[in-house]
Structure 1
């Protein structure tokens, strides 16, 4: 789980602590992978008290981009019993939990993994990928570029066969701005009102 970006469009306010419907984005992301055998959260040390059973780690140096974050997360999970399939999530995608079962079901013998796709665009940070294939892709990129820091995710996934899982319900909507957060909170209030909830 990637939870350590700069949040520049939020004025530097850390995304993990943002509230959606009264729940932190970090908690929504952790709930999305609640059934995982192991979870790595890639983010700052001040999340230590919030990650529960998850392993907290960080790319070195910090702010190395999502590929460096993926690498750090894989290293944190590199122990006996490491999962055969890794779910990749960005902490700012609060609806990802709806997609996780669909992604896992789409990881068949014919592909390396699966990611959400919306409007013809792959959402690579809402994905499920075979761990060995993902590790190999990271190592290939490291060998080609000399470092995984500041590398584009599209370069990492170029080596992977990812099945596209249509995002039919906005599960890949992300929180990049305050307007995004306000819109999502309003949508939740509207949905609750339609159901007659307080």
Structure 2
């Protein structure tokens, strides 16, 4: 199912973390299943027809047809990244088309991002009146594995009175009307440690 089934879907992809538990480096450029995490994300968002796509973090591939922004200050966390992505008219594509109704909000280290995006887009196409559809895993909200009404994201930012830097996603997004999606098969599993990376690589190599 593609974005054509709803009134447009954009995407915010957050790729600016420090990767401390992996020993540093640029996590989205790690290769799993024959391609980098960043390439997997871009393939999933392109296949879903997302426009615009805003990537928050250092420029990883200048040839990609995306809008690059940086949170202020760098490494200030996801709320600062969301604010940078939606600053002013930042969510509008260059041709000034209407702003998309929905915005995918994704971490940049999701190896099963293709399946994740397809399920989120399907949820947005449902008749639900929710502000967002967000996955949970083991009872914990996965704020960066969700799809949000763009207007709801903007309203949450406008109402937020704390500093963006270092703020939690729960503080920004927790009051939205959210439809929770249970992750029954591990599609929101990300890569935080060398053990995570080794496990994901082994699992993806086992796929036919």
Which residue does 1:137 correspond to in 2? Answer: 156
CA RMSD of aligned residues (A): 1.5
Q: TM-score, normalised by structure 2?
A: 0.84
- Shift of residue 190 of structure 1? 2.2
Q: 2:123 aligns with which of 74, 95, 106?
A: 106
Q: Which has the higher helix share?
A: 1
- Shift of residue 25 of structure 1? 0.5
Structure 1 pair 112/17, CA: closer, same or farther in 2 (3 Å)? same
Q: For 2:118 and 2:31, locate their aligned partners in 1 and report how far apart those are by CA, in whole Å.
A: 24
Q: Is the 8 A contact 2:17 2:77 kept in 1?
A: yes
Q: Is the 8 A contact 2:52 2:92 kept in 1?
A: no
- Shift of residue 109 of structure 1? 4.4
Q: For 2:82 and 2:43, locate their aligned partners in 1 and report how far apart those are by CA, in whole Å.
A: 19
1:164 and 2:183 correspond = no
- Shift of residue 167 of structure 1? 1.4
- Shift of residue 119 of structure 1? 1.9
Q: Is the 8 A contact 1:48 1:56 kept in 2?
A: no
Q: Is the 8 A contact 1:104 1:114 kept in 2?
A: no
Q: 1:12 aligns with which of 10, 24, 27?
A: 24
Which residue does 1:71 correspond to in 2? Answer: 83
Map of 1:168-179 to 2, 5 A cutoff?
168-179=184-195
Stretches (4+) displaced over 3 A: none
Q: Please, which runs of 5 or more residues in structure 2 have no aligned partner? A: 1-12
Structure 1 residues 70-102: Cα deviation after superposition (integer angstroms, max 9, x where no partner): 111223324533211000010111212212232
Q: Is the 8 A contact 1:113 1:128 kept in 2?
A: yes
Q: TM-score, normalised by structure 1?
A: 0.88
Q: 1:32 aligns with which of 44, 47, 62?
A: 44
Q: For 2:122 and 2:29, locate their aligned partners in 1 and report how far apart those are by CA, in whole Å.
A: 30
